[in-house]
Amino acid sequence: MNFILICLAIGSLAGILSGLFGVGGGIIMIPAMVYLLGFNQHLAQGTSLAVMLLPVSIFAAIQYYKTGNIDIKAAFWIMLALALTSFFGAKLGLSLNNMLLQKLFGIIMLIMSLKLIFAK
pLDDT band at residue 99 under the 50/70/90 scheme:
confident
Structural domain of 10: 3-118
Contact, 32 vs 15, CB < 8 A? no
Q: Which of 50, 68, 51 is nearest to 60 (CA)?
A: 50
Q: Which of 40, 93, 46, 96 is nearest to 66 (CA)?
A: 46
Contact, 112 vs 34, CB < 8 A? no
Alpha carbon distances (Å) from 9 to 61, 81, 108: 22, 7, 17
pLDDT value at position 16? 85
Q: Could you tell me what percentage of the chain is helix, strand and coil, using 3-state DSSP and rounding each to the nearest 5?
A: 85, 0, 15
pLDDT value at position 46? 86
pLDDT value at position 55? 67
Which residue type sits at 100? L
Separation between Cα atoms, residue 14 and residue 32, nearest integer Å: 9
Please tell me which residue, 11 or 120, carries the higher pLDDT value: 11
Residue 61 above 90 pLDDT?
A: no
Residue 37 above 80 pLDDT?
A: yes
**Rounded mean pLDDT, 60-69:** 90
- Give the count of domains, the chain: 1
Number of Cβ atoms within 10 Å of the Cβ of 51: 29
Model confidence pTM above 0.75: no
